[in-house]
Structure 1
Amino acid sequence: MGSRIILLSALLLAIGGAAAAGSRSWKIATVVDQADKCAGRRIHIRRLPARFNEELLRNCSAYSPAYDDFCPYLANNGLGQKTFNHSRSWYRSDPAVLEPLFHSRLLEYPCLTDDPSAADAVFLPYYTAIDALRYLYGPLCNSSFEHGVELFDFLLRDDPGIWARRGGHDHFLVMAGPAWDFSQSPAADPPIWGTSFLELPEFYNLTALVFESRSWPWQEQAIPYPTSFHPASLPRLEIWLGRARRSRRPTLMMFSGGGGGGGGGGGGTNSPPNIRRSIRAECENRTALCEFVDCSNGVCEHDPIRFMRPMLRSVFCLHPPGNTPTRRATFDAMIAGCIPVFFQEDSARSQYGWHLPAAEYERFSVHIPKEEVVARGLSIADVLLAIPRAEVRRMRERVLELAPRVIYRRHQSSEELRSRKDAFDLAVEGTLRKIKRRLRSLQEGEVELSAAL
């Protein structure tokens, strides 16, 4: 950023050579004002060898059995292929490509600096979740405890002063998965699911942006899963939100997901009672009130039409936990104006504080303890039917007000849309705040960093 300001100052002076001195001073002051807007917000993108990012994308067809072909999801700077040829906002997005998507957006960030010593934060463009696939499915599956070791070795060899200046406390990266996927104990024998990246002491100081954080490590922060909606202009965002606002909603509630049936997915007839089985049973018994969209075996993952239409015609969307508490469908539902219903606190309230204020959850969502449903037979539909219609309207309006905060707009979007903060903007702002508080606590000699965060 500093070099840009110097060049711009020189250009303004040259243009203003024939103008009055007062005019020149005004132009230079404008440059200084612009520089001040970046105070405390400067980010340096660390230059990493291609093997940590670009080469991982070039090898996109080598990730079976995790994906038949990963390549289509890399189109459009990580947004994926369009849902149909003339689509301008809807893509077949895969959550795992949030890393290149985030990287692409950060390259447009207005307060980048080439000087790491002037940076308030340092971004590592390491496509962690994509690289993890070779440890999860490939020949390195018994070496998952080594995930991240190569990266740390590079950081210490290549300009080690960047890392050493603050011991990594000012570094951050994006990990397109739940933290649980990267927190296997290095001593696990035999290895269990996941890698050990977040358990390596070398990375204890950096901030990890994940889809789902654990409750105790202070370096983790959950950010929204990417939806399939990536508008490039404010009118396209407003047209969609207007459609969601006007949509007729004859269905009381809907659930899109797998599990809970007689087959696999953790909900077979021989499995113990669980919330997904209870939801499916209620939907099957009260078809006039509940719609079920079977997304078993990933059939909905890259086909938003399957679930967005039912979400648009439903008042409430049910979000039971699955393998982990959080769900991408939470954010799909919000942009459809479908009021989320949660069944445990860590499905959202304790996760996405930068994007969905924890103190406001009663204003835009419903919480029904899963134990009440599974063990005591509480009817979900009866709880929802008891909510006054006026309150339902207010909740839906608040959901749609919050929706722009959980989408990732398309790269190179209009200036008008860039004035509205999206999931990326809020993630960057939150990261800068988190790093600033951590560095301040270090300067003040705080021993227990978690108390300051």
Structure 2
Amino acid sequence: MEKPGRSYNNHNQLWFAILISFILLLLCFHYSYTFRSPNNNVFTFSLNNNTDSCNGRYVYIQNLPFRFNQFLLQNCHILTRGTDKSNMCPYMKNLGLGPEIKNQNFNGVLLSNTWYATNQFLLEVIFHNKMKNYECLTNDSSLASAIFVPSYIGLDISRFLWVSNLTVRDSSGFELVEWLVKKPEWKRMWGRDHFLVSGRISWDFRRQFDDLAYWGSKFRFLPESMNMSMLAVEASSWNNDYAIPYPTSFHPSMDGEIYQWQSKIRHQKREFLFTFTGAPRPENEESIRGKIIEQCRGSSFCKFIDCSYGGEKCDDPVNVMKVFENSVFSLQPSGDSYTRRSIFDSILAGCIPVFFHPGTAYSQYKWHLPKTRTKYSVYIPVKDVKEWNVDIEKVLLRIPEKDVIAMREEVIKLIPKIVYADPRGKLDNFEDAFDLALKGILERIENVRETMRKGKDPSVGFADEDHYKYTFSDN
């Protein structure tokens, strides 16, 4: 016989269980959960994006065929350093950072085990490896604010830039967009939310005419490619190219290594007022390098490092940093193109850059360098040097010491923003060049998305479905 009160107790337990279930359901609606698998894939359950720290920051990495990236790493012997025919294989080590520089080679110039012989063309590999460890990756492309296309297009085009067959030069670019436009992710915004990275300047992909007299491939003039954004070490004047810093040889893996390096160069004694590290460009009539070298050689305040073929070892990070650490200012004229890796090597050494053309930095690295250029640099217009209206030494000597100290401090503060931290480490108190680049491209894509929501055309080369059907006919 059932004891009195048992039915009543069971009834209370049932209602208590219902109440707990209801509370848990409310919590599910209020919170968002993100799970990371061991291979860094991210799975997201979100019923209220207001509490999701990754809201607006999710990135989906497009799973490209082997030939667009890993093939190039595994066949690095076919890649060369341009006119220097030595292959790129040694630079593939350490996730694209290159061979580690050992302590015994520091000679008091470098600190800690965070220095590598990094090749500038490996930026796309470094960026990809950084992207793999990004905190807001997702396997659900419908949640993504941006689609990353991990094509090593700069390494790929380097094989064909000197090839006379234009079809060969252009083939990989055609193959990439042909593959992308068939994916469901593309049709959401017709590629406007896609971005890729190049370790070469964007002009290498903007051949305007099918004529051997013109350089590069025409990848960035394909309408499909024009819908995407490109991050490159140097941007063109087109509004879907964005400049991000050249990689230096310093890749810190923790905050303390940055603080330590900043402290070292802040107290560095500097023997020379200014320095120029580079080679003359006698074949380029527009270049002012010859006059800059002449002024430098004629000054007891200047140190000239000749980077002509067979000259001093300008690709040795220890040699490069030693020169910049001993100089107050560094002269940064245009090179083969507007920009130079030397800009970032000099900033890394606490050396104040002197620019001669706005396209060398001011109109390029808008996410990474201060808007007020006088805070961290000196500007001497090209024409003033060309027409011999300016003596560089006198210009620099006239700058008050207090202004020099303020500029140097601003340069030292820039260091975390212009270096790519080791993909295997983690910075807690700093945003590095990767973080700022990703933040910038996410904002750019969101602006395009908002413009499209309003029914406007943010046109930079919009290609619709009819164009794809016409361009990529099945045959």
TM-score normalized by the length of structure 1: 0.86
Superposed displacement of residue 29, structure 1: 4.9
Contact 1:319 1:343 in 2 (8 A): yes
Name the SS of the counterpart of 1:122 in structure 2: strand
- Could you tell me how far apart the structure 1 residues matched to 2:378 and 2:162 are? 38
Return the letter of the residue paired with 1:357: P
- Could you tell me how far apart the structure 2 residues matched to 1:34 and 1:302 are? 49
Aligned with residue 221 of structure 1, among 219, 242, 250: 242
- 1:432 aligned to 2:456? no
- Could you tell me how far apart the structure 2 residues matched to 1:334 and 1:248 are? 16
- 1:165 aligned to 2:188? yes
Contact 1:145 1:184 in 2 (8 A): no
How much is the aligned-residue C-alpha RMSD, in angstroms? 2.5
- Could you tell me how far apart the structure 1 residues matched to 2:418 and 2:249 are? 11
Name the SS of the counterpart of 1:68 in structure 2: strand
Aligned with residue 267 of structure 1, among 282, 287, 290: 282
Aligned with residue 88 of structure 1, among 103, 110, 113: 113
* Counterpart in the other structure of 2:376: 364
- Could you tell me how far apart the structure 1 residues matched to 2:387 and 2:324 are? 28
Contact 2:243 2:365 in 1 (8 A): yes
Task: Describe how 1:89-108 pairs up with structure 2 within 5 A.
Answer: 89-108=114-133
Aligned with residue 36 of structure 1, among 36, 42, 52: 52
* Counterpart in the other structure of 1:395: 407
Task: Describe how 1:32-431 pairs up with structure 2 within 5 A.
Answer: 36-64=52-80, 66=82, 67-84=85-102, 88-137=113-162, 143-157=168-182, 160-185=183-208, 187-190=209-212, 192-215=214-237, 217-259=238-280, 266-267=281-282, 272=285, 274-286=287-299, 288-297=300-309, 300=313, 302-358=315-371, 360-414=372-426, 417-431=427-441
- Structure having the higher helix fraction is 1
Contact 1:248 1:313 in 2 (8 A): yes
Contact 1:283 1:292 in 2 (8 A): yes
- 1:443 aligned to 2:453? yes
- Could you tell me how far apart the structure 2 residues matched to 1:402 and 1:148 are? 35
* Counterpart in the other structure of 1:15: none
Superposed CA deviations along residues 204-259 of structure 1, whole A, max 9, x for unmatched, are 110100111122x1110000000011111111111111111000012100011111
- Could you tell me how far apart the structure 2 residues matched to 1:65 and 1:305 are? 20
Name the SS of the counterpart of 2:277 in structure 1: strand
Name the SS of the counterpart of 2:93 in structure 1: helix
Residues 1:81 and 1:350: Cα distance change in structure 2 (over 3 Å): same
Superposed displacement of residue 357, structure 1: 2.7
- Could you tell me how far apart the structure 1 residues matched to 2:66 and 2:318 are? 35
Superposed displacement of residue 135, structure 1: 2.0
Residues 1:25 and 1:244: Cα distance change in structure 2 (over 3 Å): farther
Superposed CA deviations along residues 153-188 of structure 1, whole A, max 9, x for unmatched, are 21234xx22111110000000011111111012x42
Return the letter of the residue paired with 1:163: W
Q: Bigger CA drift: 145-154 or 345-354?
A: 145-154
Superposed CA deviations along residues 274-327 of structure 1, whole A, max 9, x for unmatched, are 4211111011111x2100111223964531112211111111011000111111
Contact 2:164 2:212 in 1 (8 A): no
Q: Tell me the matched-pair count.
A: 416
Name the SS of the counterpart of 1:297 in structure 2: coil
- Could you tell me how far apart the structure 1 residues matched to 2:80 and 2:376 are? 40
Superposed displacement of residue 441, structure 1: 0.9
- Could you tell me how far apart the structure 2 residues matched to 1:148 and 1:30 are? 39
Instruction: Report sequence identity in percent.
Output: 37
- Please list every run of 5 or more consecutive structure 1 residues that lacks an aligned counterpart in the other structure: 1-19, 260-265
Contact 2:452 2:458 in 1 (8 A): no
- Could you tell me how far apart the structure 2 residues matched to 1:418 and 1:173 are? 26
Contact 2:353 2:378 in 1 (8 A): yes
TM-score normalized by the length of structure 2: 0.82
Superposed displacement of residue 442, structure 1: 1.4
Name the SS of the counterpart of 1:151 in structure 2: helix
- Could you tell me how far apart the structure 2 residues matched to 1:26 and 1:242 are? 48
Superposed displacement of residue 63, structure 1: 2.5
* Counterpart in the other structure of 1:10: none
Name the SS of the counterpart of 1:317 in structure 2: strand
- Could you tell me how far apart the structure 1 residues matched to 2:458 and 2:179 are? 29
Q: Bigger CA drift: 77-86 or 162-171?
A: 77-86
Name the SS of the counterpart of 2:159 in structure 1: helix
